[in-house]
Amino acid sequence: MATVRADSPIEAPLFSYDKPSSDIFPDGIKTSGQTYPNLDQIKPYSAFPKEITGKTVWKGEEFKDNPEKWTHRFTAEEVQELSDTADAFIQSSTPLTGITRVGFHPMLTMISSRSIH
């Protein structure tokens, strides 16, 4: 994977939502879901459930002694594939804001063979 070396500290540019830096965001700020809050939907903490239940609840005792349920150790080949894919993405000159699953995921062959959701 490409590395970066700086001999002296790099001063971060000032950020402005009104005038985003084209060096950082060449295609502008493109986000989804970032909107002003709907104040009618904000509830106080006291209104939250005291206990979360259901199929999707993770229980510590189920995972504590079973790291294979929640971790994946990448093989050397997978790490190399990710590194090569990242290098190819950088070489494509696509701005970071342009990274998408559709554009990045097909570059991966080994990892694509597994189900990624």
Domain ranges of the chain: 49-113
The pLDDT value given to residue 117: 45
The whole-model pTM stands at 0.45
Looking from the CA of 110 toward its CB, the CA atoms found within 13 Å total 12
Amino acid in the structure at residue 12: A
Gap between the Cα atoms of 75 and 117, Å rounded: 20
- Per residue in 76-102, is it b (16+ CB within 10 Å) or e — as a string? eeeeebbeebeeebeeeeeeeeeeeee
Regions of the chain where pLDDT drops below 50: 116-117
**pLDDT of res. 72:** 85
- Residue by residue, DSSP assigns 60-106 as HHHHTT-GGGT-----HHHHHHHHHHHHHHHHTT--GGG--HHHHGG
d(CA 21, CA 25): 6
> Would you state the pLDDT for residue 45?
92
